[in-house]
Chains A and B, each alone.
Chain A
Amino acid sequence: MKKIVACYKWVADEADIRIDEKSRALNFDRVKYKISEYDRNAIEVGNSLKDKYSCEFVAVTCGAQVESSLKDVLSRGPTNVYYINDEILADADGGVTAKVLAGIIKKIGAVDLVICGEGSGDEYGQQVGPRLAALLGYASCTFVTKLDLTDEGLMAERKLEDGIEVVQVQGPAVVTVLPDINTPPIPTLKQILGAKKKPTTKLSLKDIGLSRDACAPKLKNIGVLGTVMERKGICMNIDGLSIQEAAEKLAKRLSADGILG
């Protein structure tokens, strides 16, 4: 029985991030977290392969506050989730994340296929998949829009700028998938209830033999500023103007501002 792992990142829901109009700083006060959208595709690939070939299928994640993600991911198909929850991973870059994930996957052992989203929903660095392949000594296969298992490994279609490439991989591989590959279903009532009974496996950095020094990111984010749309806050029909008149007034105003050509 083949063993499949899907990796996912627990990211801030971008819909909840607010931008301070003056400083343009990002405000995370009311932010909720979610499984990165691209990783949902990866999880669904693993889930459908599990159903098709009766593979063993588990999920893997790491981060600073990933415990709240466990029920969610388990409702999407995997039979277990292996994770490391450590504050030190709050600022992890792609390199650190790949090291930790590789450690967990080695700990699971004899994994045939690792599936990741092409990039994460928050930073989209596209680093983790290929780095993971290097660390595990697996083949790396990116931009995948179609995937099937073969006896020796896998067949994949890669969507490139100028066409579709079909590749065959021998032996274990790390595959990164594009959103086109599937439409992840919303978990059903029974899947959600079932998830509450599934096991989870908590590991520590020590368990995978990684020192805290090794978890210091080399890439550091020194600032993110949002884009702000400048609004003048002018209301055209405030004096009870008809829509017709207001539209004319607006057109005049826009052409005076040189916006209409």
Chain B
Amino acid sequence: MSEDRFDVIIVGAGPAGSTAAYILAGAGKEVLLIERGDEPGAKNMTGGRLYGHSLEKIIPGFAQEAPLERRIVKETVSFLTSDTSVSFDLQSELLGSGGKESYSVLRAEFDCWLAKKAEKAGAILVTGIRVDDLFMEEGRVKGVIAGEDIMEAGVVILADGVNSLLAQKIGMKQELKPHQAAVGAKEIIELPGEVIEDRFNLHEGEGAARLFVGDCTKGRIGGGFLYTNKKSISLGLVFTLSDLQSWEKTVPEMVEDFKHHPAVSPLIKGGRTLEYSAHLVPEAGYSMIPKLYGDGVVVVGDAAGFVINIGYMVRGMDLAIASGEAAAKAIISAHDVYTTQALSRYRKLLEESFVIRDLKQYSKFPAFLNNKRIFNEYPQLIAELMTDFFSVDGSPVPPMMKRILKPVKKVGLMKVASDVWKGVRAL
């Protein structure tokens, strides 16, 4: 290696960047992994859940050594109105086994661990450095610029997150539009492990994941989430930025209201907030995927918009890891000639993997979710229906069909039928 040149420079030590660094360094490449935060993970935020399959393929048995919080064995979706919560609850041993394992994670620890794995494999990790620009020559990416320093590389991997300014600067990506991103805000609330296990009905080491729809976003497109960690709870909201201007409440106020909802407050009672964070989340799925590769450059992870949001499930990290892997493999097979042509293999590998397949599969879903009935009328409908079922006050009981149709009619029978149809099709 000459003084100022690496085979590969990776911007961003999140799951996508560190995975690529790990594989490339393992294949004998000189890799420089640059992270803006003081530590990997310092700038990153997640609701808190990692689907393990893609990392398991790269680091078999990673769950034994990685700093994971809890293995998720319980899924709950709750529809909220201001005073009522209706939940669907799934607890199954099958959820957390046989390659379907998912885990709650805290990024400050998980990202550090993964970056250290890359470092041990031979990558050079530098933290606390912001890459300001890409170094270009004759229309191709030749390295990065950080402050006054130019560092050259055969190929640069942009793993710099949802609002990848570097990809925008070289025209691979448009500036984010409000409908393409959501804002996620979250608190980490400290509670003793036994209290968490009691409250969520879990064995030691097991975790619960909960999603909330309805009142928590005040009817706006989005939802609430809760993940149990070892000794804390990650609780937060994700909602669309598209109607941000019309909001009456600030994001922290919305989180505060969510914490006080009657279905949520008993879960976090007595807990102490350790940290509050907020971040952008890519939302538009398949339709927002930018140009993924160019002369001397590839884009991975959130920077490439690789997030699947289908309401009851949000996935980002497993796609990020798989995209980092695909980028690394494409680079290895390019044999030091990083032309657009050679790097097109990255796209091909992604198409063959679950990344593009799943994004395509759910490509209609962002549009389906862009329907305010899901966040207003339907939680209300379900709450009314269920409250009615379980209410006994001595008044005459109407026939079952009438009881069901009464709240449905409020929304409009055809609208409900059409939304259900669209939803099923989108999935």
Among listed B122-130, B277-285, B379-387, B389-397, interface-contacting one = B122-130
A190-B149, A193-B124 in contact; A235/B129 too (CB < 8 A)?
A: no
A235-B256, A238-B260 in contact; A189/B34 too (CB < 8 A)?
A: yes
- For A34, give the chain B residue with the smallest CB separation: B38
Report the minimal beta-carbon distance from A64 to chain B, rounded to whole angstroms: 21
Contact of A188 among B124, B148, B272 (CB under 8 A): B148
Q: Tell me, yes or no, whether B151 is within 8 Å of chain A by CB.
A: yes
Which secondary structure dominates where chain A touches chain B?
loop
Within 1-53 of B, Cβ neighbours of A (below 8 Å) are at 4, 32, 34, 39
Q: Is the CB of B128 within 8 A of A188?
A: no
Q: Is the CB of A189 within 8 A of B129?
A: yes
Task: Give the distance in Å from the alpha carbon of A188 to the alpha carbon of B146 in the complex.
Answer: 8
Q: Is the CB of B149 within 8 A of A188?
A: yes
A235-B256, A238-B260 in contact; A190/B151 too (CB < 8 A)?
A: yes
Q: Is the CB of A188 within 8 A of B256?
A: no
Task: Give the distance in Å from the alpha carbon of A235 to the alpha carbon of B252 in the complex.
Answer: 14
Q: Tell me, yes or no, whether A196 is within 8 Å of chain B by CB.
A: yes
A contact residues, range: 10 to 19
Number of A-B pairs whose CB atoms are under 8 Å?
A: 30
Report the minimal beta-carbon distance from B230 to chain A, rounded to whole angstroms: 13
Q: Is the CB of A189 within 8 A of B260?
A: no
Q: Is the CB of B260 within 8 A of A192?
A: no
Q: Tell me, yes or no, whether B60 is within 8 Å of chain A by CB.
A: no
Task: Give the distance in Å from the alpha carbon of A233 to the alpha carbon of B148 in the complex.
Answer: 48
Q: Tell me, yes or no, whether A186 is within 8 Å of chain B by CB.
A: yes
The residues of A that contact B147 with a CB separation of less than 8 Å are 188-189
Task: Give the distance in Å from the alpha carbon of A21 to the alpha carbon of B260 in the complex.
Answer: 23
The residues of A that contact B146 with a CB separation of less than 8 Å are 188-189
Contact of B129 among A21, A192, A238 (CB under 8 A): A192
Report the minimal beta-carbon distance from A238 to chain B, rounded to whole angstroms: 6
Q: Is the CB of B256 within 8 A of A192?
A: no
Task: Give the distance in Å from the alpha carbon of A21 to the alpha carbon of B126 in the complex.
Answer: 36
Within 384-425 of B, Cβ neighbours of A (below 8 Å) are at none
Contact of B126 among A32, A193, A235 (CB under 8 A): A193
Within 183-197 of B, Cβ neighbours of A (below 8 Å) are at none
Report the minimal beta-carbon distance from B424 to chain A, rounded to whole angstroms: 37
The residues of A that contact B124 with a CB separation of less than 8 Å are 193, 196
- For B190, give the chain A residue with the smallest CB separation: A18
Task: Give the distance in Å from the alpha carbon of A190 to the alpha carbon of B115 in the complex.
Answer: 20
Task: Give the distance in Å from the alpha carbon of A188 to the alpha carbon of B32 in the complex.
Answer: 14
The residues of A that contact B34 with a CB separation of less than 8 Å are 189
Q: Is the CB of B128 within 8 A of A186?
A: yes
Report the minimal beta-carbon distance from A32 to chain B, rounded to whole angstroms: 8
0/1 string, B117-148, CB within 8 A of A gives 1: 00000001010110000000000000000111
0/1 string, A154-196, CB within 8 A of B gives 1: 0000000000000000000000000000000011111011001
Within 166-211 of B, Cβ neighbours of A (below 8 Å) are at none
Task: Give the distance in Å from the alpha carbon of A189 to the alpha carbon of B260 in the complex.
Answer: 46
Task: Give the distance in Å from the alpha carbon of A15 to the alpha carbon of B129 in the complex.
Answer: 20
The residues of B that contact A192 with a CB separation of less than 8 Å are 126, 128-129
- For A237, give the chain B residue with the smallest CB separation: B253
- For B126, give the chain A residue with the smallest CB separation: A192
- For B260, give the chain A residue with the smallest CB separation: A238
Within 207-234 of A, Cβ neighbours of B (below 8 Å) are at none
Report the minimal beta-carbon distance from B216 to chain A, rounded to whole angstroms: 15
Task: Give the distance in Å from the alpha carbon of A186 to the alpha carbon of B148 in the complex.
Answer: 12
Report the minimal beta-carbon distance from B119 to chain A, rounded to whole angstroms: 11
Within 242-278 of B, Cβ neighbours of A (below 8 Å) are at 256, 260, 272
15 contacts between A and B (CB under 8 A): A21-B272, A187-B128, A189-B126, A189-B129, A189-B146, A189-B149, A189-B151, A190-B149, A190-B151, A192-B126, A192-B129, A193-B126, A193-B151, A196-B124, A235-B256
Q: Which chain B residues have a beta carbon within 8 Å of chain A's beta carbons?
A: 4, 32, 34, 39, 124, 126, 128-129, 146-149, 151, 256, 260, 272
Q: Which 3 A-B pairs have the closest CB atoms?
A: A189-B146, A189-B149, A190-B149
